[in-house]
Amino acid sequence: MPHPPHQSLQVAAVQGLHGRPAAVPKPRIPARAGDGPWHADAVCRRDEAGLFFAPSKEPTAARLSREEAAKRVCARCPVMVACREHALLQPEPYGVWGGLTAAERRVVLARMRRRSAELRQAPGTGPIAAAG
């Protein structure tokens, strides 16, 4: 499974020629079908993955605190909408993406499915018309 854009990408300096620090190039995230260039501008690329993904057996209070911190990072991200769309289209089952937790994305997806089903339903064939 490819790594999400939230993976830790901290870049360390190494000693270059003449003792001057030389920057190590940032690791590239493997491209996935459908991924757009929004990954490159994601603020979360500079933050720890642990902020966006839960460790195993995380206590509820710690999870809620961590998710709120991740959402604050998302709130200042210039590609939050693209990230959210990606997470809803994939759908991403874990982590905070586009300012939404996995549970919040499940609610959004359920609402979208319900709304889509309502729109597909032909006029006059709903439960109220059948009762009339």
Sign (positive/negative) of CA torsion 90, 83, 11, 94? negative
DSSP 79: T
What is the model's pLDDT at position 86?
Answer: 92
Q: What is the pLDDT of residue 45?
A: 84
Write out residues in the chain with pLDDT < 70, as ranges. 1-36, 47, 122-132
**Residue located via tokens 């709130």:** 75
Could you tell me the pTM of the whole model? 0.62
* pLDDT (0 to 100) of residue 74: 94
Quote the pLDDT of residue 88: 93
Total Cβ atoms within 10 A of residue 91: 13
* Each residue's pLDDT tens digit, 83-112: 999 999 988 889 999 999 999 999 999 999
Query: Quick one: 49 exposed, middle or buried, by C-beta within 10 A (0-12, 13-18, 19+)?
Result: middle
Do 100 and 117 form a contact (C-beta atoms < 8 A)? no
